[in-house]
Structure 1
Amino acid sequence: MTANRHVELLVLLESGGGDPTTLLKRVCELCVEVCAVSGAAVTVRGNGDGTAQAVAYATDEVSLALDDLQRTVGEGPKLAAHDSGGPVLIADLATTDARWLGFTPAARAAGVAAVFSFPLQVGVVRVGTLDFYRGSAGSLSRVELRDALALADIATHAVLDDLRGPDPMDIGWLSDVHAVVHQATGVITVQLNLSMHDALLRIRAHAYAHQTPLDEVSRQIIGHHLRLETGD
């Protein structure tokens, strides 16, 4: 993934304006366009263990049906991506019958031939998945995979932007951020040798995963009651 392409995709997404929810909608729509897939969806997960989940946006009914199917049978690409922390890329579902006995036959019956799922994560904290499907078998090209990874990263930021606090994609927040969050960000910057941008993102990801207000997490960090590890 190149920095220039990441910026190009952000420009395309931000041309539609709007809040984080609107941005997630645009991410899904852009996935269909640039990754040559039939449909896309973003699922947001919470409660730390990922048991609470909801579809933030889906481009079509098949994407919604795939989410419902995986919740029902308890298996499938998005669950595997969330559990493993890495992309799950299935170019031909006909080759995976033995892997997902409950999911694959029903997905193929719905006209799905290929599925691709990407975890939305910061460190080891996973806040959801970005999921694609195709109606015909075929791998993502190298360029399509690059764009999918970039869009998954952008979607991760959009999910975390739903937390109250500054935008982690804009470091202009530093002069105005609430003092306790600013202090905690400085602590994590030193402890983990991160930029202020990435330190804040780690704090927000921890707050999201543990369903704890951002200010409270920041106070725990400043008071030395919480120490974020390198992988958190």
Structure 2
Amino acid sequence: MKKILVIEDNTAEAIYAQAELARAGFTDFQAVTTLSEGLEAMPGYEALLTDLFFPAGCLPTEPYTQRFLPIYHAYGERRFKTKGRDVVLRAVKQCAETFGVTPHEYVEDFMAKVGGHLSTPSNVLKAARASLTGVEEPERYTKFLEIEAGVRNGTYLPLGVIATERARELGIPSVIVTSTYHHDDAFEAVRDLVKVPYRDSLVDGRKDWKGGITLLSR
């Protein structure tokens, strides 16, 4: 029976993981919460179940930021290209100047709030908001910028990639179990770096540890 190491910083999820391991018949397993703990413990285990995003612990984050930030930046450049928004932005700016307000104020205080037969069609309002960022899907882009900021300051790093790379060096099978969907920008930006099986679906509102254990047992 394999000795299983779990890296998971969410206490409730770690409990669920251990419960599923016990249910599957495993008796020797340990859960840690950080990369530093995981790397230290890993040589003593025979398999790894790991989250994708978790803290570095006592390890410096700079090397990981230096590795991952260019990847996220390049992904953002590809994913959120400026496309056909110049004419819309020009119109927004001209109208804003007429009313003596900023383009953002014009969109949010005039276009978004006008009612009745003068109300702004939703597609026009969406295009105007997108023009302010210079990209399509401005809400998604704003969220991506928050992800990128977390990578930059070391608080949101896909350290599951590092953990599974170390596991491979040790000849240990590993599986990533995460709540971050693979088409979410946080995951998709680094998906090519994930060389192991993963489970990214939720079951009853929690991570699919059972599915991860099944993959690990193959």
Question: Greater share of helix residues, 1 or 2?
Answer: 2
Higher relative CO (CA 8 A, sep ≥ 6), structure 1 or 2? 2
Give the structure-1-normalised TM-score.
Answer: 0.25
Give the structure-2-normalised TM-score.
Answer: 0.26
Q: Which structure is larger by alpha-carbon Rg, 1 or 2?
A: 2
